[in-house]
A and B are shown apart, each in its own frame.
Chain A
């Protein structure tokens, strides 16, 4: 089983915290701080799971998610969505997107992030 996480998050402090949490658990973490290059990065080296912020410069998290689901090669990739927006603004379609996406509201508990990543990546 792979232990590779792609983290897409523009807030440097949040990215650093998540990286610390996952690295400590034994995950290899690759980081991106904007949305525009996300899809290309995923295709270059398909991770075991993507941790995705919503409000990103370049391209929003939901757009990236939709593109992944439209791509057969990526449609089965688990995605953990993190957002500082109000939970009710999370698109209703999100839970239905192949059951492979989960949503966590910011601020989150570090344990929840770790549990979600572990579970979704099947580790």
Chain B
């Protein structure tokens, strides 16, 4: 039955390894991809998937191993060589140039004279053949995430690749857009016998869309086989390296079907604490509007979070929730509207005003605005409350150490000493440093933006416990997340954001996948 097993693989990797200093990113990886199949490459963040693909694309040089294209051994030392070998990549972060038009982006990297008419005709031809409608003259910065994904696909398919690599392609797409993508991919492998490598950390996606699957764990191949002969539970076990039981873990892995929202015993969200007229909100956004290039990114957005509750701000990426995070970090100043803490409006123009007013923030990109990687753990921990460790402008190292050691013990921060540079800590411990600093300041409200992005399962679980604990102690917690399962597992109420406005707020108990899906899609009734 499975004739594909007899086929010569389109691409074979044998013993491919790559180290970055002491860190092993890829450890003797074997991988064989056949024509006419979608091959899933599954692994947690940091399992080595992206490094492996960068090796295939000539962006990173491997330390050991061989790569065979068909039957020929090959050396891929630049993106040009990769393209010549028929390897096409659709990148996780779009590789499109925003001020250029669709057709200009599509022909980027070609050679010879520019023929605008021919380029547009080609775009339209590819777009028709695969059912990816797009206007070749549109400028990229005017397109939605889904449309950009189409342009990426067209750009890739126009070069007629025999192997198509997609790196986390659905991370910014709605469910409908994801479904459309997988339909196109099916056509690509079935009708045209191309090979597709689908890199993902979402189990549901791998189960639904792939023919074969390879699981990477800490750089090495942990499992390899036909998708239909395995189960999601088995793959999850291989990916994590142990049994997955906790609901929040499963949620983080994308294991839970969205259709099953009822919480499991023991990890149920705390009892509802919705803001009522009698209990004023600790954190209130009132009619906040923020324009970028004349277009509203936030459009009269209003939101209340009461003390002791967790509100999940959920929506598809690119609908403004990242902007809410940046706004509450003090990185952006709104064009109109106010942010109030305990009923008092905050002057957002003054640096540090939100922190002074009692708002803690775990920012989405901790390396960007959460920590200073080259400073020590202790320095990062006291950074926002220097008054407590200085006397007449002189830092007291003794006080700093004492505070740091207390917080490290309290928040399970694993580091050799308070003087260790933060850079050498794992992502989970770096995130704990941020959380420890913010919670130790005794905030009235805490904003956690994508707090578990890039963390391993243990650190995710720890983060969940801390957030629940903070809420139980009376802190108003705003959880900004694009992971529905995460929001479902933590929040008392879910506020859905779409095109920069809150389109609905539901108690988690009433939030069914269907209702949320409608809201996310912008349908409010």
A and B: real partners? no
* A residues lining the B interface (CB < 8 Å): none
